[in-house]
Amino acid sequence: MNLPDQIKKAIRDVPDFPKPGILFKDITPIFYDQTLCNRIVDEFVRLLGPTKPDIIVGIESRGFLFGILLANRMNLPFVLVRKSGKLPYTTVSQEYSLEYGTAKIEMHTDSIHKGAKVVIHDDLLATGGTAAATADLIKQFDAEVCAFTFIVALDFLNGKEKLIKHTNNIQCLVHY
Ligand code: AMP
């Protein structure tokens, strides 16, 4: 079976989670199958190959899962982006708009060096708000976003439009 079909087979649709009207794409069953996990990491490595990144950044919380696997495989540092108030050391923060109100994400001040080529990873691209805010946060370090990687893209929400001003290297393994 090709990789996108195998991923789609593993992903579980959970209707009305976390609130009515949302069809949640649950990636946790992917982690029951380590052969599939390895294929996914292999594919991200292949897609990122020409980019030669310096750092992989993972977005809380499901972005940590393949983010750390990918960083480890590529022998690169892994950096966490977390919601406000979760990181213990001094932080740089970025606010962004939600459907109602705002949210804030943070990174440790010592996590990215000036001029670094950074890959932003998350499990799923929906509206693109979180990934775009992460890219803005990385710019505060005078670093460069060289790629975005996602397992899933919900194409009907046009998340890519918010990201292409940072880079057009946006890699999504499966699309809905
Ligand atoms: P957004 O900022 O709208 O692109 O939302 C992306 C974040 O929300 C990611 O961290 C996803 O894990 C999560 N998310 C949004 N919609 C879904 C969905 N339908 N299923 C699973 N996760 C989702």
Structure tokens at 79: 């950096």
With beta carbons less than 8 A apart as the criterion, state whether 87 and 106 touch: yes
CATH topology assigned to domain 52-175 = Rossmann fold (3.40.50)
Q: Give the residue, by CA position, lying nearest to ligand 1 atom 16.
A: 126
Q: What's the chain's average pLDDT?
A: 97
pLDDT for 99: 80
Q: Is the CB of 130 under 6 A from ligand 1?
A: yes
**Those residues with Cβ within 8 angstroms of residue 165's Cβ, 6 or more apart along the chain or in another chain:** none
Task: Tell me what percent of the residues of the chain surpass a pLDDT of 90.
Answer: 98
Strands (E), 70-169: 78-83, 91-97, 102-108, 117-125, 144-153
Looking at residue 75, what DSSP letter applies? T
Q: Is the CB of 151 under 6 A from ligand 1?
A: no
Task: Tell me what percent of the residues of the chain surpass a pLDDT of 70.
Answer: 100
pLDDT for 100: 84
Q: Is the CB of 172 under 6 A from ligand 1?
A: no
- pLDDT tens for residues 96-112? 998 889 999 999 999 99
134-to-3, 29, 36, 130, 138 alpha-carbon distances in Å: 28, 26, 27, 6, 6
Separation of 126 CA from ligand 1 center, angstroms? 5
Q: What is the CA radius of gyration of the chain?
A: 16
Q: Is the CB of 132 under 6 A from ligand 1?
A: no
With beta carbons less than 8 A apart as the criterion, state whether 141 and 113 touch: yes
pLDDT for 109: 98
Q: Is the CB of 123 under 6 A from ligand 1?
A: yes
Lowest pLDDT segment from 80-84, 95-99, 168-172: 95-99
Dist. CA 125–CA 118, nearest whole Å: 17
- pLDDT tens for residues 7-65? 999 999 999 999 999 999 999 999 999 999 999 999 999 999 899 999 999 999 999 99
Q: Give the residue, by CA position, lying nearest to ligand 1 atom 9.
A: 124
pTM of the predicted protein model: 0.98
Q: Is the CB of 129 under 6 A from ligand 1?
A: yes
Q: Which sign, positive or negative, has the C-alpha torsion 127, 168, 7, 36?
A: negative
With beta carbons less than 8 A apart as the criterion, state whether 37 and 69 touch: yes
36-to-29, 96, 108 alpha-carbon distances in Å: 10, 34, 32
Torsion of CA 159, 160, 163, 165, to 10 degrees: -130
